[in-house]
Amino acid sequence: MSRKILKASAGTGKTYRLALEYVVSLFKGEKIRDIVVMTFTRKATGEIKNEIISFLRTLSAEPVTDKEIKKKNGTAESIIKIYPDMFSSAEEIYEKAEKAYKEVILNKDNLKIFTIDGLKNNIFKTAIAPMLNINSYDIIDDSQNTEYLKKCFERIFKNKKDFAVMKNFLETNIERDAENYIGVIKNIIDERWKALIIKRTERKPYEINGILNHLDKSLEALESIFEKKGKEGETIKDFIKKDYYPYLEKNTTEEKEKFIYDNWNMIFSSEIKNGRKTASTKKIDVSGENEELAELHEELLKELAKRIYNDTVIEYEKEILNFLEKVYFVYDEIKFREKKFTQQDITNYLLEFMNDKKLNLTNENGITDYMREILESGIKTIFIDEFQDTSVVQWEMLKSMVYSAEKVICVGDEKQSIYGWRGGDKELFENLTEILNGHEETLGVSYRSTKKVTDFTNKFFTDYSSIAKGQGINWNFQPVESSDKENGGYVEIYKSASKDENSLEKITEILKTKFDGNYKETCILARNNATLQEMAELLAEKNIPYIIETNLDIFSHKTALPIVKLMKYFV
C-alpha cells in the first residue's frame, strides 16, 4: 500500500502534481472509475479535471512549436523524475498517454472527482435516506432551518421536565454562548457530531478516603502558630480568615462536612489561614506549620473534588446527556416528517448510520462492496486535495474509504491549516503522516511568485513558526524556493509613523515612481474594508486603475448608493 502526504504551499504546482499522480495511476492500468479525487469546492473539481485533461493532451499530442516540444518533454521528465523505475523512456509515457487521453475524453463526465459534500450527499441519498423511509427530500440552508428549530423548542417547552433541564443548563453552563433557547437548540444540533464520535460511557465514581477532617488538622497547625506569634488580646480567630469563622461553631462531623460542601467555592479560592498573620518573621519561624497548612489544603481540595464529582458532576452529566438525547429525538421526528435537511443534518445522520451493520456500508476492513457500488468505484486510489481544510467530522466520514484504498495521496498547505479555515483541524493534518503511516514530501518550488515575494513569505512564516512554538503550537515551516531567477518582485509593509503621516499617500507615490503605469501584477493588502475604500479613492485621484475586492455588499459602494436611493425614491 502507498500512502503519500504532500505539503504544498500556494503556487508550488499542487494541482499539476495531483494531475501527474492521477495520470500515472492510469498509466499503471488503473480504471478511471477506481480513481477517486476529493476536494472542497466545485471550482476545485473543475480545475483538477481540466488539469488532468490538459496534462494528457500535452503528452499525447504531436507538438508543433518549440514551446510545445519543450512543454511535452518537460512534462515527461517530471514523471520520470518522480517515478524513475516505472518508465523506461519518454516514448513509453507518450504511448500510454495517447491511450489514456482517448479514454478520459470518452469518459470525462464519469471521472470520480467529488466535493466532500457531494460524496456525503450521494451516500445519504442512496443508502441512508431509504433506510429512514425517506424517498425524497429538500436541502435547506441554516436560515430556513430556524423554523424547524422553533418547532423543536416548542415541543420541549410543552414538557415541563425537559424545559426545566434546559433552563437549568442555561443558568449553570459556564460555556454558554446562546442568546436564547432556540440558539441553544441550534448549538446542540450543530455540535451533535461530537456526541456521535465520542462514545458515551458510564462514569465511575472516585474512591473516597475517610472523612474531611483537614480543616480540624489545619486548626491544630494554626494553634501552633498562634502560640508562637499571638499577642496579648488576640485569639485564634485573628489567624483565620473570616469566611471560615462559622466552621469553628460546628461540633459534629456531619455539620463540619456540610459546611465544607456548602462553601466549596470559597474553599477552592482561599486557604483557612490569614496569610498576613501566619507568615514567618525574622525572629519567629513558622515555615514548618505553613508547609503543613499548604499540604492539608491541597489534600482537602483533592478529596473535596472527588466528592463533588461523585455527588454532583456525574448526575449532572447524565441529566444533560439525557436532555441532549431528548433534543435529538424531537428534532429527528420533525425532520423525518418534514423531509427538510441542512448539510449539517446530513453529516450527522451519515455519522450516526454509516457504521450501522444493517446498512452494510463499512466493516472492520474499511468499506464494503455495497459502498463501492454506491460510489460506482472500486476505490483503488484516493486523492484528497486541500487536506488542511478537513475537519474531524469529515475525516470520520472519509477514513474508512482511505484505509480501504491501495494508494492514497493527500495534499495540503500547513500555512493555511494554522488558521483553522473551514473548521479544519490543524492537528489532523499535522499528524497525518503518522496516522496513515505514510511518506511525507514537500513541494519546494514556487512557480507563481517572484523571488522577492517568496523570500518575504519565507521570512514571515519562519518568524511566525518560532512565535507559534513559543505558544505551544508545534509547526515546522519549510521554506520554498522561487523559480524566478531574476530576483524580481517587490514587497513592502507601510505603517504610518505618526498621526500626520499618511501611509496610503506614500503607497500611491511608490506606485507612480516604481511601476510607472505597469500595475497589472500589483496587489495592495489592507486590514479592513475602510482602509481599502480610502486607498481606492486615492488611486482614483491619481488616475491609477484598480480593481477592489472587499466583503462589502455591492449596494454599499459609493458609486451604487445614489442609484439605490433613486430606485427607493421611485418605489
- pLDDT tens digits, residue range 253-306? 999 999 999 999 999 999 999 999 999 998 999 999 999 999 999 999 999 999
DSSP state of 207: P
pLDDT at 174: 44
| Closest residue by Cα to residue 44 from 81, 76, 73, 19 | 19
The pTM of the full predicted model, rounded to 2 decimals, is 0.78
**In sequence order, what are the beta bridge partners of 443?**
8
Q: What's the gap between Cα 505 and its chain centre?
A: 39
Statement: residue 176 has pLDDT above 60:
no
Average pLDDT over residues 234-247: 94
Query: Cell numbers at residue 106, please?
Result: 470518452
Query: In angstroms, what CA-CA distances link 356 with 167, 351, 465, 549, 571?
Result: 34, 10, 43, 47, 57
> What is the torsion angle, in degrees rounded to the nearest 10, for the CA atoms of residue 235, residue 239, residue 244 and residue 245?
10
Average pLDDT over residues 427-443: 91
pLDDT at 175: 45
Statement: residue 118 has pLDDT above 90:
yes
Higher pLDDT, 170 or 193: 193
pLDDT at 117: 92
Q: Are 301 and 269 in contact (CB under 8 A)?
A: no
User: Distance (Å, rounded) from C-alpha 45 to C-alpha 51?
Assistant: 10
φ, ψ at 341 (rounded to 5°): -125, 140
Statement: residue 368 has pLDDT above 50:
yes
Mean predicted lDDT score pLDDT of the chain: 88
DSSP 281-349: -SS---HHHHHHHHHHHHHHHHHHHHHHIIIIIHHHHHHHHHHHHHHHHHHHHHHHHHTEE-HHHHHHH
Statement: residue 563 has pLDDT above 80:
no
Q: Where are the alpha helices (DSSP H) in 173-313?
A: 181-190, 192-197, 214-229, 253-262, 264-269, 275-278, 287-308
Average pLDDT over residues 86-96: 94
| Closest residue by Cα to residue 90 from 66, 68, 67, 74 | 74
Average pLDDT over residues 391-409: 93
Q: What's the one-letter identity of residue 257?
A: E
User: Distance (Å, rounded) from C-alpha 519 to C-alpha 547?
Assistant: 11
Query: In angstroms, what CA-CA distances link 310 with 206, 304, 317?
Result: 7, 10, 11
Q: For residue 517, what pLDDT band results from cuts at 50, 70 and 90? A: confident
Q: For residue 566, what pLDDT band results from cuts at 50, 70 and 90? A: low
